[in-house]
């Protein structure tokens, strides 16, 4: 018993020292965390000041330009591979997507221009006979063709509100305005954030080109709404970008078929290395003048942005 007493005392001392050490470490941790919080507050304040300076620079420097592109390529071939559903087959596919902008900012005006272009081709031959008989290539079989051009001019009533005029073309490259729509209108533009613009034009002339023999093009007055949004996030030190454009036209008169329509175009990209990354694009469109059913597309591939 006398032998165990010094050992027991030593254990109590060790536990007491350990408890003191834990408390000291917790106190040090709290102190460092307070320092980090203070530094983070200073960083946030500095970022806010940088943002305000950038807004002033944008006004003074004239045009701001940007481009983001997507390209996807797939080549497949099998020659006598019996286990395949089609032992002798080949396929090729190419996707291209481009979103570009050129904006000018002044103290009392802005002029924003944006282009969205998506093209895709695919060629599939299921046998050697198909390859010999079809005598065509990849670019003879387009699968996606989208072209949208917007030019928006605004006179600022305040930092976030302006009277505006806009020309908006929504069609394809190969079948330009066949079908397609052209809008020319005026109204107001709300700019609640640097990366978001909302156009509401109650005075809009909408011209719809049918592109179908025997079906006349039609036009009419109505309201045009367009929302453009872009956002860049940082995930694990890599840039993640998202751009979206939503457009709709609501006619004041009833036509048969109606001229009501909407289009939603989206592009998502994730940077991997020096501007190169992967991207995904998708879109929805409904225009009874063109087709009763809802239209859609998707594409996926490598991206490059700067």
The 10s digit of each residue's pLDDT in 219-231 is: 899 999 999 998 8
Whether the per-residue pLDDT at 15 is higher than 70: the answer is no
**In whole angstroms, what is the distance from residue 127 CA to residue 260 CA?**
44
* Tens of pLDDT, residues 150-163: 999 999 999 899 99
Q: What is the DSSP string of 117-170?
A: EEEEEEEEE-SHHHHHHH---GGG-EEEEEEEEEEEEEEESSSSEEEEEEEEEE
Weakest-pLDDT range from 205-219, 254-268, 280-294:
205-219
Under CATH, to which class is 63-305 assigned? mainly beta
Indicate the helix (H) or strand (E) that contains 266. Answer: strand 261-273
pLDDT tens, position by position, 113-135: 989 898 989 888 877 766 666 66
> Is the whole model's pTM more than 0.75, yes or no?
no
Name the percent of the chain lying above pLDDT 70: 84
Instruction: Indicate the pLDDT class of residue 284, thresholds 50, 70 and 90.
Output: very high
3-state secondary structure 197-238: EEEEEEEEEEEEECCCCCCCCEEEEEEEEEEEEEEEEEECCE
Strands 196-209 and 180-193 come out as antiparallel
The pLDDT assigned to 305 comes to: 58
Nearest-10 Cα torsion for 11, 16, 17, 20: 160
> What are 118's two structure tokens?
């998506």
Range among 23-27, 151-155, 284-288 rated most confident: 151-155
Tell me the pLDDT band of 182, cut-offs 50, 70 and 90: very high
* Nearest C-alpha neighbor of 174 from the set 92, 274, 96, 231: 96
Residues 174, 7: Cα–Cα separation, whole Å: 91
């Amino acid at each position: 018993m006398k032998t165990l007493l010094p050992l027991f005392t030593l254990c109590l001392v060790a536990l007491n020292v350990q408890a003191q050490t834990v408390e000291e470490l917790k106190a040090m941790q709290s102190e460092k965390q307070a320092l980090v919080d203070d530094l983070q507050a200073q960083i946030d304040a500095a970022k806010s000041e940088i943002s305000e300076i950038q807004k002033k620079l944008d006004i003074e420097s004239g045009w701001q330009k940007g481009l983001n592109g997507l390209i996807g390529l797939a080549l497949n071939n099998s020659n006598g591979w019996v286990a395949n559903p089609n032992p002798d087959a080949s396929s090729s596919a190419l996707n291209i997507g481009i979103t570009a902008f050129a904006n000018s900012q002044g103290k009392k005006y802005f002029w924003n221009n944006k282009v969205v272009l998506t093209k895709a081709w695919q060629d599939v031959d299921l046998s050697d006979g198909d390859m010999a008989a079809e005598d065509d290539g990849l670019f003879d079989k387009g699968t996606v063709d989208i072209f949208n051009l917007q030019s928006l001019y605004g006179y600022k009533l305040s930092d976030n509100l302006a009277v505006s005029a806009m020309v908006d073309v929504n069609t394809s490259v190969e079948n330009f305005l066949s079908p397609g729509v052209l809008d020319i209108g005026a109204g107001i533009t709300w700019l609640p954030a640097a990366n978001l613009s909302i156009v509401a034009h109650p005075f809009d002339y909408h011209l719809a080109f049918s592109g179908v023999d025997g079906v006349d093009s039609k036009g009419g007055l109505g309201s045009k709404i367009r929302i453009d949004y872009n956002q860049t996030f940082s995930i694990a030190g890599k840039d993640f970008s998202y751009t979206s454009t939503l457009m709709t036209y609501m006619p004041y008169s009833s036509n048969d078929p109606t001229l009501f329509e909407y289009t939603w175009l989206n592009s998502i990209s994730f940077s991997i290395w020096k501007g190169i990354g992967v991207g995904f694009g998708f879109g929805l469109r409904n225009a009874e003048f063109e087709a009763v059913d809802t239209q859609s597309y998707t594409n996926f591939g490598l991206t490059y942005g700067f």
